[in-house]
Amino acid sequence: MPATTFLDSPQGRKLAYHRTEGQGPWVVFLGGLKSDMEGTKATHLEAWAKARGQAFLRFDYSGHGESSGLFDEGAIGDWHEDTLAIVEALTDGPIIPVGSSMGGWQALLLARARPERIKGVVTVAAAPDFTEDGYWANFSPIQKASLRADGYVELPSDYMEPYRVSRRMIEDGRLHLVLRDPLPLPFPVRCLQGTADSAVSTETALRLLDHATCDDMRLTLVKDADHRFSDRPCLGLIEAAIEDILHVAG
């Protein structure tokens, strides 16, 4: 296993990454909240890319995995800055972001910030605007009061240990929402969603499909697949989505 390499970002963060040279466009994996680049999807896609000679990049946001920083102090905008720093420093030419969960939101932010670089986008259980529509909208009055008074709320999770949601994450999230304003996506988009996902609902996937302006956007629902979307058939669907974009985008 190659050693992890680090990039010093313009914001002074030390970002861990693994970069695989190959033919373009670059496939860039964007992980989920509190996930890291050693997850099943990231490492599987790296092996897939190496087998076909495809350029591939996986990395850890600040406060995640081997990168510097504390998760509790991070926010959507920080991780967007990390994504831009990694992409701009380590790739050239067209890219295909593959965003999982929170990484789906990051893929959309990247597409909005650098549309000229995007060959196409693949999302897996994308969670755009979850800080507002998933967290804030479902907080009880007591939780909202705690957030204001203490600066954080502790939440349980089906997929990770309990974690804190900070007031900064909520407030910063509002600066990066993508489902309120027009969202032009002038390239192929392939969205994958499991119907048994307890973290991101099918309704979220349908809302994104309805909201975005895109001439070639498809949503695939997989019966009984959960949020991890990491068994062999699901991994095959992610591969197929990337290959479809490579084919239709030329």
227 is catalytic: yes
Q: Could you give the CA distance from residue 129 to residue 127 in angstroms, rounded to a whole number?
A: 6
Residue 21: how many CB atoms within 10 A of its CB? 10
Question: Which residues, in sequence order, are CB contacts of 21 under 8 Å at separation 6+?
Answer: 55
- Catalytic residue, chosen from 78, 133, 172, 197, is 197
- Catalytic residue, chosen from 9, 62, 101, 166, is 101
Question: Which residues, in sequence order, are CB contacts of 89 under 8 Å at separation 6+?
Answer: 7
Q: Could you give the CA distance from residue 145 to residue 157 in angstroms, rounded to a whole number?
A: 21
216 is catalytic: no
Among 219, 118, 226, 130, which Cα is nearest to 169's? 130
140 is catalytic: no
**Is the four-CA dihedral 178, 179, 184, 190 of positive or negative sign?**
positive
Helices 232-249 and 40-52, packing angle to 10 deg: 50
Q: Could you give the CA distance from residue 187 to residue 216 in angstroms, rounded to a whole number?
A: 7
Whether the ω angle into residue 141 lies within 30 degrees of 0, i.e. cis, is no
- Catalytic residue, chosen from 18, 44, 64, 227, is 227
State the catalytic residues. Answer: 101, 197, 227
